[in-house]
Amino acid sequence: MKTAFFKFVRDERGATAIEYGIIAGLMAAVLVTIFSSTGSLSVGLGHAFTFIAGKLNALS
- Identity of the amino acid at 30: V
Q: What is the mean pLDDT of the chain?
A: 85
Q: Which residues contact 36 (CB under 8 A, 6 or more apart)?
A: 42
Instruction: Give the start-to-end residue ranges of the domains of the chain.
Output: 2-59
Q: What is the pLDDT of residue 48?
A: 94
Strands (E), 1-60: none
- What end-to-end distance do the CA atoms of the chain give, in Å? 82
The answer to whether the beta carbons of residues 41 and 34 sit under 8 Å apart is yes
* pTM, full prediction: 0.49
Tell me which residues of the chain have a pLDDT lower than 70: 37, 39
- Per-residue pLDDT of 7-17, as tens digits, reads 877 877 777 88
Q: Are 11 and 3 in contact (CB under 8 A)?
A: no
pLDDT of residue 30: 87
